Amino acid sequence: MDEWKVLLVDDEEDIHALTSIILKDIKFKNKRIKLLSAYSAKQAKELLIKEKDVSLSIIDIVMENENSGLELVKFIRETLNNQIMRIVIRTGQPGYAPPRDIILKYNINDYREKSELSSNGLFTMVIARLREYSEIKKLYSQKNLLEKFDTIDSSKIVSINDLKRILEDTLNTSVVITKAETDKDIKNKIYWKDNNKILFKINKRSYTINFSNNMDNRDLFTIAFEKLILDLENNILYKERINSLYQLIYILSEITETRSLETGEHVKRVSTITKLISEKIFDNKEHIETVSLASMLHDIGKIAIPDKILNKPNKLSDEEWKIMKTHTEIGYKILNSVENSLFKIAANIALYHHENWDGSGYPKGLKNSEIPIESQIVSIADVYDALSNDRIYRKAWPKEKVFKYIKENSGKKFNPKLVKIFFDLSDKIKEL
């Protein structure tokens, strides 16, 4: 806003002419005053709908009728819901003043008789009200900025480009982020070069932000931006940790798959299907990622199963099947020994992913909600991928046959709720 908009509402032309002369050369905070004129409450309402950021309205009480001025005040505060504009009411009738409850209810900021508003009186009153407006506007601006930053989903900020997008959306201004040529000026996380340029550090790397507009709330923005930087640093570290865990888990699972003459693609597909289903079950994105990674270790216990059983091309004997089934408990013992929440979840998945919804599975014969939900999810993902791809003891089934099998086993092997989700995701799953 390059000027202060002051609205004068009065049915006397002389009042408009005199006010215009007095306010013509006044400046406040290096901005001139633009006087808007309305000669009735009706005309003022039309003007206020069109004009934005009117700082001050000086309103005559008696115009079309004896209450038209107060009706206009009510319109501003209630219909327009404008609580920021400063309102001064005045009258040419000495001794008349609006009731106190009206002044309080509609936040009327001053009352003057026209005879009081000499050149000096008008100057003093206008400057005082503009100062109030300026401070209130600043407070509202700070409140809006805080509210906008509070709505940011910091989990989505994992790169400098994400930070740029978030700032542009939040501040409604163009933002350019570049690597800083030097970081010698940056003693803290954030250093202001001027009102539209800052230097900041993320994980020891320095960057410059240029805003297309000047930042009016530097102190408040600094506090909010420091939190964004901290969130970004944590998200980058978390992403790096997840990538490292993924590499470790993939290597471990691939060792198991290689021993059973299968490729590591099986665990990748199981992980992807697990994630797709988990996204429909869990709200916590970190838990979804954890379950997806943990699922890759579901068969790690097979590392202890003899090759002659693991890679037997025909049906296992009863004794061999008994040994094969121990891979669930072996996997649990291996994974549960690691003091890490991801491996604890992986341990339960390894132990229970062959349990059936009706209690006919192994190793514990659990049923329904006794089976951890993560294990139920991996059970469907594992069976689908195992049947859909070649194994040493049989050829892959057609996908439609696999879907039919899963549907037929809803309520038997699988949780009916998860089967429905699985079928809802069928288009994505078939693409894998």
pLDDT tens digits, 50-101: 998 999 999 998 888 888 999 999 999 999 999 999 999 988 765 566 667 7
| pLDDT for 362 | 98
Q: What is the mean pLDDT of residues 150-177?
A: 87
| pLDDT for 237 | 86
Q: Is residue 238 part of a domain?
A: no
Q: Is residue 254 part of a domain?
A: no
Residue 214 has pLDDT above 80, yes or no: no
Q: What is the mean pLDDT of residues 10-35?
A: 93
pLDDT above 90: percentage of residues in the chain: 56
- The residue from 179, 213, 232 where one domain ends is 232
- The residue from 119, 147, 175 where one domain ends is 147
| pLDDT for 264 | 64
| pLDDT for 244 | 84
Residue 240 has pLDDT above 70, yes or no: yes
Q: What is the mean pLDDT of residues 123-149?
A: 89
User: Which two tokens mark 102?
Assistant: 């009206």
Which among 18, 82, 17 has a CA at the least distance from the CA of 48?
Answer: 82
Q: Tell me which of 54-68, 139-153, 196-210, 248-262 is least confident.
A: 248-262
What is the C-alpha separation between 154 and 393, in angstroms, rounded? 48
Average pLDDT of the chain is 89
Q: What is the mean pLDDT of residues 113-124?
A: 82
Both 128 and 27 in one domain: the answer is yes
Both 323 and 373 in one domain: the answer is yes
Q: Phi and psi of 60, rounded to 5°?
A: -75, 135
pLDDT above 70: percentage of residues in the chain: 94
Strand partners, 79: none
CATH code of residue 302: 1.10.3210.10
What is the C-alpha separation between 372 and 278, in angstroms, rounded? 13
Both 9 and 120 in one domain: the answer is yes
Strand partners, 247: none
What is the C-alpha separation between 143 and 416, in angstroms, rounded? 48
Q: Tell me which of 56-70, 170-184, 337-351, 397-411 is least confident.
A: 170-184
What pLDDT band is residue 127 in, cutting at 50, 70 and 90?
A: very high
Both 334 and 413 in one domain: the answer is yes
| pLDDT for 203 | 78
Both 283 and 419 in one domain: the answer is yes
What is the C-alpha separation between 383 and 402, in angstroms, rounded? 9
| pLDDT for 155 | 80
Give me the domain span that covers residue 43. Answer: 3-147
| pLDDT for 270 | 96
Q: Phi and psi of 420, rounded to 5°?
A: -60, -45
Q: Is residue 190 part of a domain?
A: yes
Residue 185 has pLDDT above 60, yes or no: no
Please state the domain count of the chain. 3
Both 143 and 24 in one domain: the answer is yes
Both 276 and 174 in one domain: the answer is no
- The residue from 128, 147, 166 where one domain ends is 147
Both 141 and 208 in one domain: the answer is no
Q: Is residue 245 part of a domain?
A: no
Both 165 and 121 in one domain: the answer is no
User: Which two tokens mark 115?
Assistant: 């005879």
Strand partners, 206: 201
Both 118 and 182 in one domain: the answer is no
Q: Is residue 93 part of a domain?
A: yes
